[in-house]
Amino acid sequence: MALDRNTVPNDLSAFWMPFTANRQFKETPRMFVAAEGMHYTTADGRQVLDGTAGLWCCNAGHKRPKIVEAIQKQAAELDYAPAFQMGHPKAFELASAVRDMAPEPFEHVFYTNSGSESVETALKIAIAYQRAIGQGTRTRLIGRERGYHGVNFGGISVGGIVNNRKFFGSLLTGVDHLPHTHLKENAFTRGQPEHGANLADELERIVALHGPETIAAVIVEPMAGSTGVLLPPKGYLERLREITKKHGILLIFDEVITGFGRLGSSFAAEHFGVMPDMITCAKGLTNGVIPMGAVLATSQIHDAFMQGPEHMIELFHGYTYSGNPIACAAGLATLETYKEEGLFQRAADLAPYWEDALHSLKDHPHVIDVRNMGLIGAVELDPIAGDPTKRAFQAFLDCYDKGCLIRTTGDIIAMSPPLIIEKAHIDQLIGTLGDVLKTLH
């Protein structure tokens, strides 16, 4: 496809790019100018297979007609409505649709604009809930090493990715961390690993240290994505649920990646059969097309706030764009697309093929682990001595040159394609990565 090169700017200096090696990028830019289905189009007219659903968010693939039309129509009809003390129909319709798609206990939906905001919102609701039920001493938050909960102060405080924390001062006080669950003996496991359920018992140690009456909530990703796809050991989430319940501590699942079909179910809570008290989501809620996130809460949590004089605001929290009409229209069209095309089931059906393809890389050079679940997978590489991250980043660049988009975190290659992926695309993606691995130093 011939593209108008004039649409690509010459001056790249003003845009300070997020989570990007800015100087490297601006030296050799990688620009997408269009997308459709499973592919991006680059500024130089190449097709690149999307192996990452954008940033784990375009679960229905790109430029889906229903979503495009819904956004266009909504922009022409009601562009914006105040989010506080006013409503518009689609905000209520989408909340009902999310509730209907989510596992049973999640009856209420609070809108945000991103995963990071969903996390802040859930942490604040947790502390305020404890206060509302007369447990005001419960203010501590427990996260987990290697956890990723976005980039705001609450999220990086409970998060456990060192580089996301160490540059930003002292963070929130009153936070503790569970150990991560990434164990060497689980290498090359297909699906949930055998070893490590006992790591949940560390919560008992933390509870004993601080006293249960000081702890408001535990937040974990049921499957840790951004840190490099770490799966919960068998029995681990169940144990966390048991311990939190026993001590009156809320459990929050951060499902910003796992929400909306990634594991072959609507949410990971359903997939693992473990129900937390709140779920955070974003990304797949609008297929990544318009920024939007949400916190799903049980009636127990929601109803605890519904007291006092009826003219009073119950929760002093919200965003100018909470439930933005265009985001709601995109969300409704997205959920309809997932349902009409049976995309969550499709992910579940394709998972065994995906698993086999990924594990075919086991004996390739530099590979020290392969992990997978649903339509998500990771290939971990042995780092170059003294130069961590470089080998995987080179793999990313080489795959891009060969027409495939993958993602890297440290020396881990992560893939999470749109759920519309075909077997031939899986062959191309994994085949390309395999070829690249053979040429890496």
Ligand X SMILES: Cc1ncc(COP(=O)(O)O)c(C=O)c1O
Smallest CA-to-CA distance from 224 within 201, 195, 265, 256 is with 256
Q: What is the edge-to-edge ordering of all strands in the sheet holding 32-36?
A: 32-36, 39-42, 47-50, 404-405
Tally Cβ neighbours within 10 Å of residue 16.
Answer: 7
**Count of Cβ atoms closer than 10 Å to residue 179 Cβ:** 15
Work out whether 257 is an interface residue with ligand X (CB under 6 A): yes
Cβ-based burial of 30 (10 A; exposed 0-12, middle 13-18, buried ≥19): middle
Q: 372: alpha, beta or left, given left = phi > 0 and alpha = psi -120 to 50? A: beta
Task: List strand residue ranges (DSSP E) for 28-100, in order.
Answer: 32-36, 39-42, 47-50
Q: Of 9-17, 220-228, 236-244, 380-388, which part binds ligand X (CB under 6 A)?
A: 220-228
Window 146-205: residues binding ligand X (CB under 6 A): 148-150
283 vs 391 by CB, closer to ligand X: 283
Q: Considering beta carbons, is residue 254 or 411 the nearer one to ligand X?
A: 254
Applying CB under 6 A, does 256 fall inside the site for ligand X?
yes
Which listed range, 143-151, 316-324, 343-351, 381-389, lies at the site for ligand X (CB under 6 A)? 143-151
Lookup: tokens for 6: 């004039």
Among 226, 265, 337, 432, binds ligand X (CB under 6 A): 226
Q: Interface with ligand X includes 120 (CB under 6 A)? A: no
Query: Which one of residues 50, 120, 221, 277 is an interface residue with ligand X (CB under 6 A)?
Result: 221
Size of the site for ligand X (CB under 6 A): 14
Measured from the CB atom, is 91 or 119 closer to ligand X?
A: 119
- Distance from C-alpha of 383 to C-alpha of 360, rounded to nearest angstrom: 20
Confirm or reject binding of residue 261 to ligand X (CB under 6 A). Answer: no
The span from the CA of 203 to the CA of 245, in Å, is 12
For residues 64 and 149, which CB has a smaller minimum distance to ligand X in the complex?
Answer: 149
CA 178 – CA 27 distance, rounded (Å): 40
Site map 263..292 versus ligand X, x via CB under 6 A: -------------------x----------
Stretch binding ligand X (CB under 6 A), from 98-106, 184-192, 218-226, 420-428: 218-226
Per CB under 6 A, residues contacting ligand X are 114-116, 119, 148-150, 221, 225-226, 254, 256-257, 282
